[in-house]
């Protein structure tokens, strides 16, 4: 890139929903404005307040239906009155809305129109019953397919992917890898205070996750433990230039440099040519790695979009860490665990930390920023000198909008 771009001062709210002790469906819960204000104000407190900010970007998928609220860009002054009069934009790309917020901020800094951008992602989804939520979330796919699709639309689509994968590469081994993915997610989430599964105390996670799918009550090839939960939350981070770092008074070592990014989109009206591949994810990651000038072998930690366990396995293969059909072996060998070759989703990912859809891409960036700067607390992993990079892969819809970003600790 023509100039250095950094991210710093990240913050995550609690990912609230079933599994959290404080979550009670029968009692009033925080509204979307609460999450926007909490995440945004916490970042402002770390960077010297609103005067340091040139513009705000908010990523959100479907507040207009979950919360009857659109026009989220105008909530920036609600975070702090000091943001009044400054540019603020809302961006949307289904579950990749957070990643698009990051890219929008990166491009503003690259263009020179901003030196400091407040990037935020938010979603509040526990406002409706699950079956109605499934209908709302189906808007991340092609509306024409909703009429004939499964009642649980996206679980149905990824269940279909899993079914083809079972047939082509073997069911038992793949199911075991799903269970291992779930175990890793929950064990990582138990270390993270803000994770939705932080309070999970199940002793034998893999046995639980091997529960047989029941197509009569859910979908044919996935069980409930193969799925990310319905989550409310927000994440925010500052995207800054070198001059921006000086302005906010944060040392470069406490920031991560963005060394590459990739953005790829596929036709939403077309079914995947091969259900056992995430071809758009692969393209976005390849673009990011090429811009960064590195190989996947130099990446020390990954945050991937495991909306379902099958998406986690396919993400491993899309990144080139395992050959097609061998993702289950890579996971079962422990390579994606905290002490593996490439630790994945170190705060739990979508299955363990939670999936407030519009916030997910920003949460990924905050997690990697904390890991690479040594500020991850109980979730901290060892970042080896030979693998100093982090990579995030944020997916919208069924492999339709993908954002991948490569990070390295500032120096």
Does residue 109 belong to any structural domain of this protein? Answer: yes
Mean pLDDT, residues 25-41? 96
**Residue 147 predicted with pLDDT over 90:** no
Q: Which domain holds residue 77?
A: 5-129+230-253
Over residues 304-320, mean pLDDT: 98
Determine the Cα–Cα distance for residues 180 and 196; give it in Å rounded to an integer: 19
Please check the confidence at residue 277 and state whether its pLDDT lies above 90: yes
pLDDT (tens digit per residue) in 316-357: 999 999 999 999 999 999 999 999 999 999 999 999 999 999
User: Residue 62's domain is classified under what CATH number?
Assistant: 3.40.47.10
Tokens 């010297």 belong to which residue? 48
Using pLDDT thresholds of 50, 70 and 90, give the confidence band for residue 92.
Answer: very high
Token pair of 280, please? Answer: 């758009």
Average pLDDT over residues 245-261: 98
Q: Is 148 a residue whose pLDDT tops 90?
A: no
pLDDT value for 164 = 98
Q: What is the mean pLDDT of residues 387-394?
A: 98
Q: Kindly report the average pLDDT of the chain as a whole number.
A: 97
The helix (H) or strand (E) run that includes residue 98 is helix 97-111
In a domain, 21, yes or no: yes
Instruction: Quote the number of domains for the chain.
Output: 1
* Stretch 197-214: mean pLDDT: 98
Q: What is the mean pLDDT of residues 275-290?
A: 98
**For the packed helices 153-169 and 130-137, what is the interaxial angle rounded to 10 degrees?**
80
| pLDDT bucket at 131, cuts 50 / 70 / 90 | confident
Q: Of the ranges 102-106, 146-150, 265-269, which one carries the lowest mean pLDDT score?
A: 146-150
In a domain, 85, yes or no: yes
Q: Give 1's pLDDT tier (boundaries 50, 70, 90).
A: confident
5 with 258: CB under 8 angstroms? yes
Structural domain includes residue 15: yes
**In this structure, is residue 93 part of a structural domain?**
yes
pTM score, two decimals?
0.98
pLDDT value for 150? 87
Report the residue count for the chain.
Answer: 411
3-state secondary structure 281-323: HHHHHHHHHHHHCCCHHHEEEEEECCCEHHHHHHHHHHCCCCC
Task: Decide if 320 is inside a domain.
Answer: no
- Residue 270 counted as domain residue: no
Q: What is the mean pLDDT of residues 238-248?
A: 98
User: DSSP label at 149?
Assistant: S
* Termini Cα distance of the chain: 16
151 confidence band (pLDDT: 50, 70, 90): confident
In a domain, 329, yes or no: no
Rounded to 10 degrees, the C-alpha dihedral 346/260/286/345 comes to 10
């Amino acid at each position: 890139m023509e100039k250095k771009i950094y991210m710093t001062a990240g913050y995550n709210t609690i990912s609230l929903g079933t599994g959290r002790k404080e979550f009670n469906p029968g009692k009033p819960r925080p509204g979307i404005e609460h999450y926007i204000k909490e995440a945004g104000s916490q970042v402002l407190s770390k960077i010297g307040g609103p005067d340091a900010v040139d513009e705000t970007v908010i990523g959100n998928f479907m507040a207009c239906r979950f919360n009857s609220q659109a026009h989220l860009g105008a909530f920036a002054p609600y975070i702090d009155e000091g943001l009044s009069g400054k540019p603020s934009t809302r961006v949307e790309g289904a579950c990749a809305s957070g990643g698009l917020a990051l890219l929008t901020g990166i491009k503003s800094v690259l263009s020179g129109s901003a030196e400091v951008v407040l990037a935020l992602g938010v979603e509040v989804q526990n406002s409706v019953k699950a079956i109605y939520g499934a209908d709302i979330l189906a808007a991340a796919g092609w509306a024409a397919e909703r009429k004939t699709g499964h009642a649980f639309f996206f679980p149905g689509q990824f269940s279909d992917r899993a079914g083809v994968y079972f047939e082509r590469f073997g069911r038992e081994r793949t199911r075991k890898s799903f269970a291992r993915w779930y175990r890793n997610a929950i064990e990582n989430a138990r270390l993270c205070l803000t994770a939705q599964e932080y309070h999970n105390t199940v002793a034998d996670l893999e046995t639980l996750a091997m529960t047989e799918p029941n197509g009569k009550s859910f979908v044919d090839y996935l069980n409930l433990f193969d799925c990310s939960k319905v989550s409310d939350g927000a994440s925010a981070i500052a995207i800054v230039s070198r001059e921006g770092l000086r302005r906010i008074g944060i040392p470069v070592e406490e920031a991560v440099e963005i060394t590459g990014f990739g953005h790829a989109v596929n036709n939403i009206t077309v079914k995947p040519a091969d259900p056992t591949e995430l071809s758009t994810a692969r393209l976005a990651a390849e673009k990011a790695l090429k811009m960064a000038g590195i190989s996947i072998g130099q990446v020390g930690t990954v945050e991937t979009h495991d909306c379902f366990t099958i998406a986690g396995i396919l993400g491993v293969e899309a990144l080139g860490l395992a050959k097609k059909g061998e993702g289950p072996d890579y996971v079962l060998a422990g390579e994606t665990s905290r002490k593996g070759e490439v630790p994945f989703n170190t705060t739990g990912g979508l299955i363990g930390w939670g999936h407030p859809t519009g916030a997910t891409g920003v949460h990924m960036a905050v997690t990697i920023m904390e890991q690479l700067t040594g500020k991850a607390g109980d979730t901290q992993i060892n970042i080896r000198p030979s693998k100093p990079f982090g990579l995030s892969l944020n997916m919208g819809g069924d492999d339709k909008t993908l954002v991948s970003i490569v990070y390295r600790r500032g120096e």
